[in-house]
Amino acid sequence: MTDFLAEAQSLFEYTQSLRRDFHMHPELGFKEVRTAGIVARELTSLGLEVHTCIAETGVVALLEGAKSGPVILARFDMDALPILEETSVPYTSQNPGVMHACGHDGHTAIGLTVTKMLLAHRQELAGTVKFIFQPAEEGLGGAEGMIAAGVLENPKPDLALALHLWNEKPLGWFVIAAGPATAGAELFKIKVRGKGGHGAMPHLNADPVLAAAEIVTALQSIVARNVPPLQAAVVSVCTIHGGEAFNVIPQTVELAGTIRTFEPEVREKVLERFKVIVYGLAETMGCQAEVDLQRLAPAVINQPESAAHIAEVARRIFPDAAIDTGDYVTMGSEDFAFIMEKVPGCFFFIGSANKEKGLDASHHHPRFDFDEQALPRGAALMASTVAELLRDKSRKI
Ligand code: NI
């Protein structure tokens, strides 16, 4: 059996230099022109047929095994975040205000490493690997764009896989959950419209500040009183804007925030209660509310069989690793869920924090950085999983 961990470790400098280069030149969603250019250049140099500009900046390459068989999609995201980097590493962002603060630089480097390794083992593969390098994962619609551009057709994948470096857990740790892995997310905006006027004469006005305050408080009753205690949900009001002067009741107040859920029935219940509370309270307070709800991503629910397979591979490659197969889920969301709505698969996490080296800031933090030893680990786990699935005739995908 191929030792993909040894191969990934021998490619460490390749992976690390790509990762550091992407880190120094981060690009926001749908603007990953330089990153996608490097991805396309690397894939082309390997001799693969490469398709570029899919959903603006996405790149797709097919790796056909020596024999026919199932099609596995492996997805890697490429976008950075609008954050001013505060690390002092030599590969710090050269693009002020834009930062790879989620590890997608590592994912892209891992993706290229996996491609290189699997290509070297093409003769042993019975099936096809569809590599997709995706733009705009951070809430901008990259996965939906790639789907609309047809990446799930010609050939149609039988299984979809993706990984995420995970600084919430240390290096040496994996989570490969059979079932829910990341939450479904909605973005909401509320406009509470009242009747502005003199702050000293509230009885002549309809105060949207007070109505907004009531709404913020009452929204917390949804999780406390409408969601079954053993099921999870989050309702967070994250911005509140209204008013200009200390003695003027404003005309409108605007709120924005996010809702997170897993089960469709919980999501439905939360959204229903959300609207009843917002409209009802605004009306009670003599105001009117407008609600704008946008779905950012569904929940990622892993297929139990592929999760079990990946966990088995991980246990073999990393006998000392802590492998969590289900007790850990994150309320964070992931747009790979749009792909997983159409293709069964698994989204798994590679622990990447190292407290001793000071590499343990959370994702989306201005000092985020991870232990690069996680790169070969992620590449080895992805490559081994795919190779085994395309080799083992007895295993049904
Ligand atoms: Ni991410």
Q: How far is the C-alpha of 275 from the C-alpha of 82, rounded, in Å?
A: 31
Q: Is 70 exceeded by the pLDDT of residue 272?
A: yes
Q: What percent of the chain has pLDDT over 70?
A: 98
**How many Cβ atoms sit within 10 Å of the Cβ of residue 122?**
12
On average, the pLDDT of the chain sits at 96
Residue 235, strand partner residues: 259
* Mean pLDDT (whole number) for 274-287: 98
* pLDDT score of 45: 97
Residue 224's identity, in one-letter code, is: A
pLDDT digits (tens, 9 = 90+) for 182-225: 999 999 999 999 999 999 999 999 999 999 999 999 999 999 99
pLDDT at position 393: 64
CA of 9 to the centre of ligand 1 (A): 24
Do the bridges between strand 50-54 and strand 58-64 make them parallel or antiparallel, or are there none, so unpaired?
Answer: antiparallel
CA-based nearest residue to 4, from 89, 114, 79, 80: 114
Query: What is the spatial distance between Cα 391 and Cα 397, in angstroms, rounded to a whole number?
Result: 11
334 Cα: distance to centroid of ligand 1 (angstroms) = 7
CA distance 313 to 157: 21
Query: Rounded to whole angstroms, what are the CA distances from 310 to 47, 107, 163, 381, 390?
Result: 28, 18, 11, 8, 13
Average pLDDT for 346-362 = 97
pLDDT reported for residue 325: 86
Rounded CA separation 216/211 (Å): 9
**pLDDT over 90 (residue 1):** no
Query: Rounded to the nearest whole angstrom, what is the distance from the C-alpha of residue 95 to the centroid of ligand 1?
Result: 19
Model pLDDT, residue 397: 65
Q: What is the distance in A from the centroid of ligand 1 to the CA of 140?
A: 12
Tokens at 39, concatenated = 């991805």
Q: What is the mean pLDDT of residues 94-99?
A: 97
Q: Residue 367 — pLDDT band, cuts 50, 70, 90?
A: very high
Q: How far is the CA of 181 from the centre of ligand 1 (A)?
A: 13
Mind listing the pLDDT tens digit for each residue in 106-141? 999 999 999 999 999 999 999 999 999 999 999 889
Distance 379 CA to ligand 1 centre (A): 17
Q: How far is the CA of 145 from the centre of ligand 1 (A)?
A: 17
Using the predicted structure, report yes or no on whether residue 39 has a pLDDT greater than 80.
yes
How confident is the model at residue 395, as a pLDDT? Answer: 63
User: Given 32, 77, 105, 137, which residue is catalytic?
Assistant: 137
Amino acid at 64: E
Residue 326 pLDDT greater than 80, yes or no: no
Residue 168 falls in the annotated catalytic set: no
Q: Which pLDDT score, from 0 to 100, does residue 41 have?
A: 98
Distance 195 CA to ligand 1 centre (A): 42
Task: Assign 396 a pLDDT band (cuts: 50, 70, 90).
Answer: low
Q: Residue 210's beta-bridge partner residues?
A: none
Share of the chain above pLDDT 90, in %: 94
Which domains are assigned to the chain? 4-181+299-389 (3.40.630.10), 184-297 (3.30.70.360)
Length of the chain, please?
397
Find the catalytic residue in 27, 42, 77, 79. Answer: 79
Arithmetic mean of pLDDT, 260-275: 96
Note if 371 is an active site residue: no
Distance 137 CA to ligand 1 centre (A): 7
Distant-in-sequence, close-in-space partners of 50: CB < 8 Å, separation ≥ 6: 40, 43, 44, 59, 60, 61
Confidence category of residue 328, pLDDT binned at 50, 70, 90: confident
φ, ψ of residue 214 in degrees (nearest 5): -60, -40
Query: How would residue 143 be classed by pLDDT, with cut points 50, 70 and 90?
Result: very high
| Tokens, residue 389 | 């699935």
In the reported structure, the alpha carbon of residue 303 is separated from the centroid of ligand 1 by a whole-number distance in angstroms of: 20
Please tell me whether the overall predicted TM-score, pTM, comes out greater than 0.95 for this model.
no
Q: Tell me which residue of 82, 89, 88 sits closest to 16, measured CA to CA.
A: 89
Q: Which residues pair with 258 in a beta bridge?
A: 187, 236
Q: What is the mean pLDDT of residues 11-17?
A: 98
Asked whether the beta carbons of 329 and 357 are under 8 A apart, the reply is no
- pLDDT of res. 139: 85
